[in-house]
Amino acid sequence: MSKAVLLIEDDAALRASVAQTLELEDITVTQAASYIEAVDHISANFDGVILSDIRMPGKDGFDVLSTAQTRDADLPVILLTGEGDVPT
């Protein structure tokens, strides 16, 4: 697996901060502000990890996970949120 991350985060400042941190570790980062921006990058050909916020306007991180599992069941997906609750 390559050192690549598809970073999906709707908060621009947080997205830039996480991307910069990853890039300082020589990780290639593709940034997206929403599911719609990211969906074309989610494929069996993507040789990396998807790192997605759970709570986003419109389609959320669970939609990202579902799409990734449909397109490539082995594609690693990490879901994060700063606003979690017990059911989530």
What pLDDT score was predicted for residue 85?
Answer: 62
pLDDT at 77 over 60: yes
pLDDT at 9 over 80: yes
What pTM does this model have? 0.90
Distance of CA 25 to the CA centre of its chain: 17
The per-residue pLDDT for range 12-69, each reduced to its tens digit, is 999 999 999 999 999 999 999 999 999 999 999 899 999 999 999 999 999 999 999 9
The band of 87, judged by pLDDT with boundaries at 50, 70 and 90, is low
